[in-house]
């Protein structure tokens, strides 16, 4: 397992895309804008770094390659509504680059209704039909106050069938348990079949999941998965090479605070995205915290990034960006 720190301070979550020359591009948000890094060896070394003054620091780093060759990213703009802004609710816009992230042209707002939305890192996916899904958490206006944070919310997708030109809003998932409306920071993933899975963090001891059979338009009622977790960030992705699902998450029951502890952070695999097998602990210092992971796959290796906090609590000013590069053969895959 190869380990390296890619960045220091104010780093939360990353997104990635393949460059036109086959390199890998990572992006994360800073106070100065979006930071980009490029590597030809899966970030054993970094070839080039640059910053684009686009957006603000948040965990919503996302990139996707469009069919016409452009890169698309998502830009957060804090709501002009003071109640929504007080809890960092935001509107989201597209931005497009023709030169692999060196320059961007702003697009249109994705959400037609200016409301309290949250988007996290590495969320954009393209389904088998070509549709682009952008999963977000939505908090209704009657719940937008400082006491609600991550204790109420609904998860669903905006979707685009024209390469990010226009967006529509699908239906949002409900819970099969009465009174459970805390479905936050959704992530969607699709395996070899047509169904799309959506995973969400909650304060109920487990990641929840929901299933869509119509390309992210509607969702089954959300139910607990077998991945136990505090209300903490995670990632779930599908590896087309091994045809397995992988998850990186904080494998622990909640402590006295519903978002903690965020250690150990673990890697698991699944054949169907429903039944999971833990493979290893990536980090396990009980006095630290780990979160907002990202997964990227090659035929033989798995690249994982996540933040490492020197404290158990969330203190983004001191977060470091850590990477792990694992040979699949080390995991018996």
% of residues, the chain, pLDDT over 90: 73
The answer to whether the beta carbons of residues 276 and 310 sit under 8 Å apart is no
pLDDT at 178: 45
φ and ψ at residue 141, rounded to 5 degrees:
-60, -30
Q: Whole-prediction pTM value? A: 0.95
Instruction: Compute how many other C-beta atoms are within 10 angstroms of the C-beta atom of residue 307.
Output: 28
- Per-residue pLDDT at 169: 97
| CATH number assigned to the domain comprising residue 12 | 2.120.10.10
Total of domains in the chain = 1
Q: Which residue has the higher pLDDT, 130 or 175?
A: 130
Residue 181 has a pLDDT of: 63
pLDDT at residue 100 tops 60: yes
- Computed over every residue of the chain, the mean pLDDT equals 91
Q: Look up the domain containing 11 and give its range.
A: 2-331
pLDDT band of residue 316 (cuts 50, 70, 90) is low
Instruction: Give me the mean pLDDT over the 52-81 stretch.
Output: 90
Distance CA 150, CA 137 (A): 10
Mean pLDDT of 207-212: 96
8-41 pLDDT tens trace? 888 889 999 999 999 999 999 888 889 999 999 9
> Which residue, among 197, 255, 190, 198, has the nearest Cα to 229 in the 3D structure?
255
Q: What does the pLDDT average to over 101-114?
A: 94
The pLDDT score that the predictor gives to residue 307 is 95
Mean pLDDT to the nearest integer, 225-233: 93
Query: Looking at residues 303-325, what average pLDDT do you find?
Result: 87
Query: What is the predicted pLDDT for the residue at 31?
Result: 81
Of residues 323 and 142, more confidently modeled: 323
- Residue count of the chain: 333
Closest to 312 in 3D by CA, of 257, 267, 268, 266: 257
- The 10s digit of each residue's pLDDT in 257-308 is 678 899 999 999 999 999 999 999 999 999 999 999 999 999 999 999 999 9
Q: 174-197 pLDDT, tens per residue?
A: 765 545 567 999 999 999 999 999
What percent of the chain is predicted at pLDDT more than 70? 92
């Amino acid at each position: 397992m190869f380990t390296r720190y890619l960045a220091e301070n104010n780093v939360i979550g990353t997104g990635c895309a393949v460059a036109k020359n086959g390199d890998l591009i990572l992006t994360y948000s800073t106070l100065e804008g979006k930071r980009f890094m490029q590597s030809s060896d899966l970030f054993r070394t970094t070839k080039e770094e640059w910053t684009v003054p686009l957006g603000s620091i948040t965990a919503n780093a996302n990139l996707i390659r469009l069919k016409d060759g452009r890169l698309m990213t998502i830009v957060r703009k804090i709501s002009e509504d003071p109640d929504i802004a007080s809890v960092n609710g935001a509107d989201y816009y597209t931005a497009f680059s023709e030169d692999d992230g060196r320059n961007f042209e702003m697009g249109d707002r994705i959400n037609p209704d200016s409301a309290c939305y949250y988007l996290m890192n590495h969320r954009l996916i393209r389904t088998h039909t070509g549709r682009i899904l952008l999963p977000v958490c939505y908090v209704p206006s009657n719940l937008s106050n400082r006491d609600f944070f991550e204790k109420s919310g609904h998860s669903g997708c905006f979707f685009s069938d024209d390469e990010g030109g226009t967006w529509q809003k699908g239906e949002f998932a409900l819970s099969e348990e009465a009174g459970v409306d805390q479905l936050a920071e959704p992530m969607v993933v699709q395996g070899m079949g047509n169904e799309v899975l959506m995973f969400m963090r909650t304060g109920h001891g487990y990641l929840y999941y929901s299933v869509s059979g119509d390309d992210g338009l509607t969702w089954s009622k959300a139910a607990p998965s077998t991945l136990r977790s505090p209300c903490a960030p995670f990632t779930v992705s599908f590896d087309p090479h091994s045809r397995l699902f992988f998850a990186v998450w904080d494998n622990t029951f909640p402590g006295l605070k519903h978002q903690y502890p965020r250690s150990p952070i673990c890697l698991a695999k699944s054949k169907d995205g429903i039944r999971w097998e833990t493979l290893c602990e990536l980090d396990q210092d009980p006095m630290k915290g780990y979160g907002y992971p990202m997964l990227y796959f090659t035929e033989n290796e798995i690249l994982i990034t996540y933040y490492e906090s020197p404290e158990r609590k969330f203190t983004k000013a001191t977060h470091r960006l850590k990477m792990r590069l694992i040979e699949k053969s080390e995991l018996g895959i």
